[in-house]
Structure 1
Amino acid sequence: MGSEKHVIVIGAGIIGASIAWHLAKAGARVTVVSDSGAGGVATPNSFAWINASWGNPEIYFRLRIRAMAEWKRLAKDVTGLPLAWCGGICFDLPPAKLEAYAAEHSSWGYGIERVDAKRAGEIEPNLVAPPDFAVHVAEEGVAEPVPTSKALLADAERLGAQVVVGNVERLALAGGKVAGAIVSGETIGADEIVVAAGAGASAIAATAGIKLPLDTPPGLIVHSRPYRKLLNGLVHAERLHMRQTAEGRIIAGSDFAGGDPGEDPEAAARDLFVTMKSALRDADGLELDFHTVGYRPTPADGFPIVGRADGVGGLYIAVMHSGITLAPAVGLFATREILQGERDVLLAPYGLERFAR
């Protein structure tokens, strides 16, 4: 692939960083614009789980499986990405529902192992109460979100991309298509614009007359101080999802996206941390460091919005909640569509036009 198109990517979180890297790799002239710098806003507050799990239809499962494979491809192209294929153990559903989930996803080719308490204790020996029945998926992993975004943007800059820190006031239009973006009072011209600004995408798209049906529910995640290794992988217990980061922090939410922080997030964070600490052996010295409340960009039907915006030429939208999992596939597919006009079949259900129907 190759192109001399100038593409502005608005957003420096994991989705914007991946799209920018793929575009630069393909030969486009790329300008990344963000008012928050590398890492974006939602990405730093992510649980950062790479997976194809949960109650999704098979067509979405196929996109997520492809994205997991694309992470491995991307890790070969960009050295030093902080990925870990640590596996995940899940027991946050009633046994009958967990078995139904395992049977369905196994039939789709997902590598699910059904485990008892003995095997669960071998996988995660520091669990105080290993479950009698759980499922384990060894191929799931994590991408440390901010370092991964920064690594992609740094390599995009090496490939010629420019990263600009500034506030996108509005999109500039001419003749029914985008002509650029007004950034902190200055106009940056472009042939194409990608809006990958997470929770901020709606306001930016609205300046071009495009309505994004987007919700931004809050999610509370607690972060411990760095500690010795207690967890081998991801643990999804009832009302407690947790993992240990590369620097030794244990992070947790009441689910993987973070739970509702309520009216007193600090109190909710303290309670959640107590629950997390009590679930782990040898955690007496574990201390709460801080909590985050992230606002997850979630399209109204729960599925990604990836594709061109009808009625405005040169405008591409990429906004979704499953940003960590989907980032490498969305970056690759968006680049092909923007530069070559080729839309991957896996993206077919996820255009903005579905909401007009």
Structure 2
Amino acid sequence: MPHRRKDLVFLCNCVPSRHLNFLTEQGGEIGAEVTVAILHFGVSKQPVLKLNCSPQSPPTVIYGKHTDVLAKLLERDGVPVVIAKSSQELQIAAVKKLAWSCLMWLLCHDVGRNDLPITVKEVHASHSIKLRQMVEEIMPMLKSLATEQWTKNQQCSSQSIGSTQEIMEYLEAYSMSISGGNVTPSRDLALREINERNGLIVSLMNESQKDHSCHLELIRRVAGEEWVTKVTKSRNAPPSVSVNNGNKRCFEMTRTRCAASDVTFLSHIETAETSTPLSSQNCSKSVVVIGSGIIGSSIAYHLSLRGVNVTVMDMKANLLPRNSTSDDIDPGTATSSSFAWLNANDKAPLSYMQLNLLGMEMWRRHHLLKKYPIWSGSLIRKPKSITHTSSSYYRCIGPLSLEEARRLEPGIDWSCSEFYEGGQLMESSEIESELFFYPQEGHVHPTEAVKALRIVAQGNGVSFKEGVQIHGLSRDENGNIVGVKYSDSSTEEKVLQAAVVIIAAGSNSSTPVFGIDSRHIQLKYEPGMLAYTKSPHRIREDRNVLQRIVVDTISQSHVLRRSDGTVVIGGGQLIVGGNAAKEQTSHNENFEPPGHQ
């Protein structure tokens, strides 16, 4: 749940600035509000589960929102705990533990071919000089990591990772706290995690340091030359830092995999958004997107960020502003007719609700689109027979009295509501109902959002072909799609070659020219109507008139007011409390799919 991310608790061995920097939101700060613990205890599973901690162990360091609760839980089981006063203090604890994870497995396994590896206790007893030499070599990298920011409000204080001697004392204390030091770190696990461990240290070395590195030589002896090559080529980029240099901001989604937990995080790398593709590699693939509504425009925009050569084709004209960004455009048939309600209202099952919540979160966070939604909240009337619960997933206030509803939206008279059902005039008072307020919901002007996507996509090199007629898909001798047959104002049929053709033509996607069986594109049959009116200037300035989204499921009517003063009035059923698993879909049973072209 996006709005519950601040309640996440990370129990980890990672370095926050490298593996948790995705917690810093675009334009916001949540890194300090999650809870992170750098652990100094373990759990043995042989022969039974057993907490493995010791009074000699360095304390587990906790930082963030739920530190008090987590500290009590750990202390109850005998785990020593320290609550960090700053995010840098947690970072330092993580870097110290990284030093242990990088060095101890190497020294334990640096033995003869036929010899058994030694324990960490033996390393401290007989190889302390070698260990000190290794610590001294990586100290510059440890200090550099210790000062890296992973929360936007982090202030670099006078805190230090300590001296070489202090690191040595930490390493021994941690080693001896694990079964009295009579353990040998797993070589196989260390190799699986080598990029997150040793690779991170090596990535901070300059070429001169690499040439004379005892660290790399030890990896060569213990693991082999191929692992030296792997760590020297591993990509451990520093965390992205927002720099306002006058360029537009853009975030490219990347995957960060933590081998230790086999978890992949999605993160956004910030870069300048220009006409140059973000991808470091030129993409030779060409893609044609048929349809330029909000789906087609979004696809084109995101592909352009990847450096893909994209052409958007649409039968509509006026796809882009002619003279200035304030010019009107045609956003597409379905897009222009959208009520554009941003909600996850009582959605079921939970997976469907999560999908809706992620969509709402995108509108709140996306650097290009977040300025367009109006988060007004929704005032909704529903039949009393439907049960409603407010949960941690989604906030619902109610049921409300008529007086409470009027305070939220003075412009609606709930006592006067007549509607037709089955051709008969009905009074809403004949149906028992309740009013609820959903404060997290909002709406967006779809035309403005589509315009923004198209303008940036065009700046990134996307070509828009408007007023075209699609005649079919071009195929090679094996039947593979290799392009699109079309005509424009010249009326002559042309072929636009493409490696990939994406059909985002809405209800037109099932037309025979695309060769797709309409039975495979099932649409819910829900005819509705929208009417638009510009409110007079005096009403536009009146903040007491229609500030909320108002939905009446009994009379099947809904209304909202957009930022430009346009009042959108809808008739027909809106899905409120819909269940994606039970929705009825329809298709044309008489449609005959065309033969292979």
Q: Normalising by the residue count of structure 2, what TM-score does the alignment of the two structures yield?
A: 0.40
**Partners of 1:47 and 1:30 in 2: CA distance:** 29
Equivalent residue in structure 1 for 2:558, among 241, 262, 287: 241
**Partners of 1:202 and 1:54 in 2: CA distance:** 31
Q: Deviation of residue 133 (structure 1)?
A: 3.3
Structure-1 residue corresponding to 2:546? 231
2:505 counterpart of 1:197: yes
**Partners of 1:147 and 1:173 in 2: CA distance:** 36
Task: State, as a whole percentage, how many aligned pairs show the same letter.
Answer: 26
Residues 301-334 of structure 1 deviation map (CA, whole Å, 9 limit, x = unaligned): 559xxxxxxxxxxxxxxxxxxxxxxxxxxxxxxx
Equivalent residue in structure 1 for 2:494, among 155, 175, 186: 186
Letter in 1 for 2:563: A
2:479 counterpart of 1:170: no
2:300 counterpart of 1:20: yes
**Partners of 1:48 and 1:110 in 2: CA distance:** 19
Q: Normalising by the residue count of structure 1, what TM-score does the alignment of the two structures yield?
A: 0.65
Structure-1 residue corresponding to 2:442? 141
Letter in 2 for 1:23: L
Q: Does the Cα contact within 8 Å between 1:195 and 1:204 map onto a contact in 2?
A: no
What is the aligned length?
255
**Partners of 1:141 and 1:183 in 2: CA distance:** 39
Structure-2 residue corresponding to 1:77? 368
Structure-1 residue corresponding to 2:393? 109
Q: Quick check: which one's strand share is greater?
A: 1
Q: Deviation of residue 60 (structure 1)?
A: 1.2
**Partners of 1:62 and 1:108 in 2: CA distance:** 12
Shift of the 113–209 alpha-carbon distance from structure 1 to 2, 3 Å rule, reads: closer
Q: Does the Cα contact within 8 Å between 2:527 and 2:572 map onto a contact in 1?
A: no
**Partners of 2:393 and 2:333 in 1: CA distance:** 34
Q: Does the Cα contact within 8 Å between 2:510 and 2:516 map onto a contact in 1?
A: no
Q: Deviation of residue 108 (structure 1)?
A: 6.1
| Higher alpha-carbon Rg | 2
Q: 1:63-74 maps to which residues of 2 (within 5 A)?
A: 63-74=355-366
Structure-2 residue corresponding to 1:95? 384
Q: Report the secondary structure of 1:169's partner residue.
A: strand
Q: 1:1-357 maps to which residues of 2 (within 5 A)?
A: 2=279, 3-37=283-317, 38=319, 39-74=331-366, 76-78=367-369, 82-91=372-381, 93-97=382-386, 100=387, 102-103=388-389, 106-107=390-391, 109-114=393-398, 115-129=400-414, 133-165=434-466, 166-174=468-476, 175-184=478-487, 185-203=493-511, 206-207=514-515, 211-215=519-523, 217-227=526-536, 228-229=539-540, 230-237=545-552, 238-239=554-555, 240-255=557-572, 301-302=584-585
Shift of the 25–212 alpha-carbon distance from structure 1 to 2, 3 Å rule, reads: same
Which of structures 1 and 2 has the larger relative contact order (alpha carbons within 8 angstroms, sep 6+)?
Answer: 1
Q: Deviation of residue 78 (structure 1)?
A: 4.9
**Partners of 1:88 and 1:205 in 2: CA distance:** 41
Q: Deviation of residue 109 (structure 1)?
A: 0.5
Shift of the 78–27 alpha-carbon distance from structure 1 to 2, 3 Å rule, reads: farther
List alignment gaps of at least 5 residues for structure 2: 1-253, 255-278, 320-330, 416-428, 488-492, 576-582, 587-597
Q: Deviation of residue 35 (structure 1)?
A: 0.7
Residues 222-252 of structure 1 deviation map (CA, whole Å, 9 limit, x = unaligned): 1123332421121001322110122212111
Q: Deviation of residue 53 (structure 1)?
A: 1.7
